[in-house]
A = this chain, B = another copy of it.
Amino acid sequence: MEYIEAKEKFISTWGSLGSLWGINKAMAQIQALLFISTKPLSMEDIMHDLKISRGNTSMNLRQLMDWGIVTKVLVSGERKEFFTTEKDVQELARIVAKERSRREIKPVIKVLEEVSSIKDDGTEKTKELIIQTKALKDLTDDLDTLMNKLVNQKQNWLTKSVLKLMK
């Protein structure tokens, strides 16, 4: 497999995987492109390389910056803006985990809390609703806590955690 084929394979796989870590295809592809680039890229570079429109590039770059995954860099002597992504995979995972917790998990926990604390009217179905949503709330809470714990251990958190659980 040659460079160009490998590059395309990586970008398209990462793009279609976007849903797994909660972002859309174009966003994931832009991030992938920056991730394997040896230098910062301009909007022009990105739109030509990925064959997507200027508008699309602009919107998705902004989203990536909102997530904190991509940052603008100034290239001296250049008028246009250049972009780069976090290159350390562990730091990347940390950012993604934090954002998903904040954007998706925390709000769900809140709803589960509300639902599980309705008044028990004594009927079987109400009891079941309360019991089950409470259990789901506790599980989600635990998973969220675990994820944030993992992710806040800076140095080699993953390897350390895996080792801990293995023994």
Residues of A within 8 A of B (CB): 1-3, 6-7, 9-10, 13, 17, 19-20, 22, 35-38, 87, 89-90, 93, 100, 104-105, 108, 111-112, 114-115, 118-119, 121, 123-126, 128-129, 132-133, 135-136, 138-139, 142-143, 145-146, 149-150, 153, 158-159, 161-162, 164-166
Contacts and interface: CB of A to CB of B under 8 A. Distances in A.
Contacts of A13: 108, 111-112, 115
Main secondary structure of the interface of A (DSSP, over half): helix
Contacts of A89: 132, 135-136, 138-139
A84 to B, nearest CB: 12
A9 to B, nearest CB: 6
A164 B165 contact: yes
Contacts of A161: 146, 165
A20 B138 CA distance: 17
B38 A133 contact: no
Contacts of A126: 3
B125 A38 contact: yes
A164 B164 contact: yes
B10 A124 contact: no
